[in-house]
């Protein structure tokens, strides 16, 4: 059971906009920033979003992050086949004194 | 170019010990916190441990606290994870990752990752 809750799966067709949610609580998302990763099976994770809504260089603008209260979201617009991967949110937890990951969401491009 | 290369993984029996190494290059190593993150077969990501750039501050997940230690050598640009009293549930690919934040680490925003090293604990 992960501290941060994500839907296990999401899907969309090419060109669509999809969002992936991440629900937490006061000591984690409620008090700290959220980061998002993409992981293609068999490869290392890739940082997509840091500090709730900031994109590292090289991450396309069609990916965006947001946070409100104890929840966060990752939005992917103009869905492409290459977006098919697992997505994870993570935030520092003040009670556990370390970062906690969500359980991950498998995104399928139909 | 930033590169992280893990080594030291392998197969061993429960109760054993193993030391993982992560050799870093392409950035000023001492300026960045480093973390270890693991992924059990078919499962999600789990942050394991992190260490500040100076090496003076470290953090551990509850699941490994008291069994694992983390250290770094800022001359050799290497971070280590010493794993003792290993259990079957420690079986995973262990990734070394560089913190995105210069100076004080965030430990959650990790911008460069190694390819990982597999640790298998089984009797």
Q: How high is the pLDDT of residue B77?
A: 98
Q: What is the number of residues in chain A?
A: 110
Q: How high is the pLDDT of residue B107?
A: 85
For residue B80, count CB atoms less than 10 angstroms from its CB and return exposed for 0-12, middle for 13-18, buried for 19 or more. buried
Q: How high is the pLDDT of residue B104?
A: 78
Answer whether A47 sits within 8 Å of B111, measured CB to CB.
Answer: yes
Q: How high is the pLDDT of residue B113?
A: 98
Burial B54-69 (b: 16+ CB within 10 A, else e): ebeeebbbeebeeebb
- Distance from A106 to chain B by nearest Cα, in Å? 11
Please compute the mean of the pLDDT values over residues A81-93 and round it to a whole number.
97
pLDDT tens for each residue of A49-84: 999 999 999 999 999 999 999 999 999 999 999 999
What does the DSSP 8-state code read for residue A56? Answer: P
Strand partners, A36: A49, A89
Residue A82 backbone dihedrals phi, psi, to 5 degrees = -70, -10
User: What residue of B is the nearest CA neighbor of A56?
Assistant: B111
For residue B16, count CB atoms less than 10 angstroms from its CB and return exposed for 0-12, middle for 13-18, buried for 19 or more. middle
Give CA separation, A36 vs A22, A67, A72, B91, B105, in Å: 10, 12, 10, 24, 16
Please compute the mean of the pLDDT values over residues A16-31 and round it to a whole number.
97
Low-confidence ranges of chain B (pLDDT < 70): none
Band (A44; pLDDT cuts 50, 70, 90): very high
Answer whether A39 sits within 8 Å of B45, measured CB to CB.
Answer: yes
Please compute the mean of the pLDDT values over residues A100-107 and round it to a whole number.
98
Q: How high is the pLDDT of residue A27?
A: 97
Average pLDDT of chain A to the nearest whole number:
97
- Distance from B46 to chain A by nearest Cα, in Å? 6
- A19 pLDDT more than 90: yes
Give CA separation, A47 vs A8, A22, A59, A105, B108, in Å: 19, 16, 9, 15, 10
Residues 5-64 of A with CB under 8 A from B: 32-33, 35, 37, 39, 44-47, 50-51, 56
d(CA A10, CA B95): 26
Instruction: Give the sign of the dihedral formed by CA B18, CA B77, CA A93, CA A7.
Output: negative
Q: How high is the pLDDT of residue B85?
A: 98
Q: How high is the pLDDT of residue A87?
A: 98
């Amino acid at each position: 059971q992960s501290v941060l809750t994500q839907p296990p799966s999401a899907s969309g067709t090419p060109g669509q906009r999809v969002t992936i949610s991440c629900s937490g609580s006061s000591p984690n998302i409620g008090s700290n920033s959220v980061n998002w990763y993409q992981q293609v099976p068999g490869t290392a994770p890739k940082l997509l979003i840091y500090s709730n809504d900031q994109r590292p260089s090289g991450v396309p603008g069609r990916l965006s992050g947001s946070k409100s209260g104890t929840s966060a979201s990752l939005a992917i617009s103009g869905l492409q086949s290459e977006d098919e991967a697992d997505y994870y949110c993570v935030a520092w937890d003040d009670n556990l004194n370390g970062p906690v990951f969500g359980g991950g969401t498998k995104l399928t491009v139909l | 170019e930033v590169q992280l290369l893990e080594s030291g993984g392998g197969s061993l029996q429960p109760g054993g010990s193993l030391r993982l190494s992560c050799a870093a290059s392409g950035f000023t190593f001492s300026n960045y916190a480093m973390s270890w993150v693991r992924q059990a077969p078919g499962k999600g990501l789990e942050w394991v441990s992190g260490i500040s750039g100076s090496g003076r501050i470290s953090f551990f997940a509850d699941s490994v606290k008291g069994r694992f230690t983390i250290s770094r050598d800022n001359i050799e640009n290497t971070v280590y994870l010493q794993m003792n009293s290993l259990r079957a549930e420690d079986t995973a690919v262990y990734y070394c990752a560089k913190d995105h934040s210069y100076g004080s680490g965030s430990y959650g925003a990790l911008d460069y990752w190694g390819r990982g090293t597999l640790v298998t604990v089984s009797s």
